[in-house]
Amino acid sequence: MSGGRCKSKDFGAAAYWDARYSSVSPAGGGGGFFDWYQTYPALRPLLRARVPASSRVLMLGCGNSRTSPFSCSLLAPMLSEDMANDGYEDIVNIDISSVVIEQMKEKHTDIPQLKYMQMDVRDMSVFDNESFDCVLDKGTLDAMMCADDAPDGASKMLEEVARILRPCGIYLLITYGAPKERVPLLNKGGCSWKTTFYIMPTPEYQSKMSEGAPQPIMEEVALTKDGQLPPDYVLKDPESHFIYVCHKSNPADRVNIKDTDPEEMI
Ligand SMILES: C[S@@+](CC[C@H](N)C(=O)[O-])C[C@H]1O[C@@H](n2cnc3c(N)ncnc32)[C@H](O)[C@@H]1O
């Protein structure tokens, strides 16, 4: 997955992920832990500002991500583990791969804040409506866009996300998908999102720019009325990640939606 395009249909298949997480070789994606995109230290300022530690959080497609792209330690924590260590109280982790869910359950038996369930994000019917404050997605919508049923499966996932989020809850999406690919998808889910948008260069680029010491660089960018990047905007790092902080609209505010500045809605 890179540049918003799907490089392999495999990323949408449970069998691929089970094999990857079962593999003992790093080349197969196993043999340790792999963090896609950004790490907790880089995301922390945004998360702490937007998601209180008392929130009930759902981690979509949790995988087994470790915290530092600069460390190869098998013991390094994954995003959810870092969050729990940082005071987050209730994180439900789901993944389609039963292999990774069993691995993570075993690894985190002593962290009661972390729960694990094998589940397909296209059907989260075990969760009640409006039962989460925040849904975190680091690379899972991107995987769904590689599935045989894309984009329908991805839209089903987004409908489910909107259903299980409480009004004003947050869907925080970290993706390779630029607004021209992701905004139409977000708009299809039957939910009005009020979105703040950020661009974050890859950890490798950030490290290069800061001459070795990783320096998180996160730039807030105002999207156009159509939810697109400003036409003259140039990405510093072409492999940058995009972060969409999507607030679910409050039904109590719906009467005023037609009066809302369209620039604020995507
Ligand atoms: C790109 S990886 C990201 C893993 C983790 N979020 C991270 O940042 O390191 C995508 C994850 O989505 C999971 N996944 C793919 N399709 C899924 C589906 N339909 N339902 C639930 N999880 C899925 C995969 O098993 C994999 O762990």
> Which amino acid residue places its CA nearest to atom 11 of ligand 1?
61
Contact 265, 192 (CB under 8 A): yes
The closest alpha carbon to 135, from 14, 245, 12, 253, belongs to 245
Q: Is 181 helix (H, G, I), strand (E, B) or coil?
A: helix
pLDDT in the model for residue 70: 35
pLDDT in the model for residue 153: 95
Q: How far is the CA of 14 from the centre of ligand 1 (A)?
A: 9
- Verify whether ligand 1 is closer than 6 Å to residue 143 (CB atom): yes
Question: Rounded to a whole number, what is the largest CA-CA distance in the chain?
Answer: 56
pLDDT in tens, 154-179: 999 999 999 999 999 999 999 999 99
Q: How confident is the model at residue 202 (pLDDT cuts 50, 70, 90)?
A: confident
Q: pTM to 2 decimals?
A: 0.88
pLDDT in tens, 212-258: 665 667 899 999 999 999 999 999 899 999 999 999 987 766 554 44
Q: Which domains does the chain show, CATH number per domain? A: 9-264 (3.40.50.150)
Give the CA count within 13 Å in the CB-facing half-sphere of 254. Answer: 7
Q: How confident is the model at residue 32 (pLDDT cuts 50, 70, 90)?
A: low
Q: Which of 66, 95, 118, 138 to mutate to test the pocket of ligand 1 (most atoms within 8 A of CB)?
A: 95
Contact 175, 36 (CB under 8 A): no
- Verify whether ligand 1 is closer than 6 Å to residue 156 (CB atom): no
pLDDT in the model for residue 207: 75
